């Protein structure tokens, strides 16, 4: 699946490594929302390293992750607050279904990036729902789509299908970060890049990925950090 970030896409294409924001821009947003930016880069690196101890994902910190933290706390602060509010209703359901399918709990944050936690989200490429399924993939994993019904809009059914798809990908790639990358960019594309580079090491693959695929995991790590440290910035 393509990295939708429907509300953010115009900002994400500005450079291969995301949009960086000046200290002045961050300070302006911080003063408006009473945000805290007293933390040095090492603070974020340590916090993410601590979170990494308790997940099956491989969480990392680099300047690209920092740029997305800055993005969500500046240009997209209103969206971050909205998504945090939506998560109070949606995350309990996601957590239950992910656990039933042996999916790492942190993968719930992927739905924030894919759809903004909106079950009715529709992308320009006609991907639909929380998990932004395109029709052919949705039907492959048991969702019904016809003139009267589109299961992609059902939060529970679409999450079950997403779990099946993610487990299918992880059975092949044997690495959750690569599996998420395959979900984002498409498994065929990722297989091609692995064959081309002769490696499954993420940082070795990064220079050969499209901008969209390259930015996906840093944006995900940023969202995971911000949701887990929300009170530290407000």
Domain ranges of the chain: 9-233
59-89 residue pLDDT tens:
999 999 999 999 999 999 999 999 999 999 9
User: Cβ neighbours of residue 111 under 8 Å, at least 6 residues apart?
Assistant: 90, 94, 117, 130, 131, 159
What span, in angstroms and rounded, lies between the C-alpha atoms of 130 and 157? 10
- Global pTM reads 0.83
150 by DSSP, 3-state: which?
strand
Residue 59 near residue 180 (C-beta atoms within 8 A): no
CA dihedral defined by 158, 163, 169, 170, rounded to 10 degrees? 160
Average pLDDT over residues 43-71: 94
1.10.530.10, 3.90.280.10, 3.20.20.110, 3.40.50.970: which CATH number matches 9-233? 1.10.530.10
Q: Could you read off the pLDDT of 108-163 as tens digits, one per residue? A: 999 999 999 999 999 999 999 999 999 999 999 999 999 899 999 999 999 999 99
Instruction: Say if residue 56 is exposed, middle or buried (CB neighbours under 10 Å; 0-12, 13-18, 19+).
Output: middle
């Amino acid at each position: 699946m393509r990295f939708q970030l429907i509300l953010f896409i115009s900002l994400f294409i500005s450079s291969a490594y995301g949009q960086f924001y000046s200290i002045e821009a961050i300070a302006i947003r911080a003063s408006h929302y009473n945000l805290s930016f007293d933390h040095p880069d090492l603070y974020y690196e340590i916090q993410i390293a601590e979170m990494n101890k308790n997940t099956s994902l491989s969480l990392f910190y680099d300047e690209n992750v920092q740029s997305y933290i800055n993005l969500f706390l500046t240009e997209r602060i209103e969206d971050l607050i909205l998504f945090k509010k939506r998560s109070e209703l949606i995350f309990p359901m996601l957590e239950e279904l992910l656990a039933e399918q042996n999916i790492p709990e942190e993968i719930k944050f992927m739905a924030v990036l894919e759809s903004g936690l909106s079950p009715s989200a529709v992308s320009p490429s006609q991907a639909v729902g929380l998990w932004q399924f395109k029709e052919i993939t949705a039907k492959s994993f048991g969702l019904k789509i016809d003139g009267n019904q589109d299961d992609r809009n059902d939060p529970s059914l679409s999450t079950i299908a997403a779990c099946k798809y993610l487990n299918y990908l992880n059975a092949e790639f044997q690495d959750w970060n690569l599996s998420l990358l395959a979900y984002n960019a498409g498994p065929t594309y990722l297989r091609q890049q692995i064959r081309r580079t002769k490696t499954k090491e993420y940082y070795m693959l990064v220079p050969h990925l499209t901008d969209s695929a390259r930015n996906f995991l840093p944006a995900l790590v940023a969202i995971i950090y911000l949701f887990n440290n929300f009170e530290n910035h407000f």
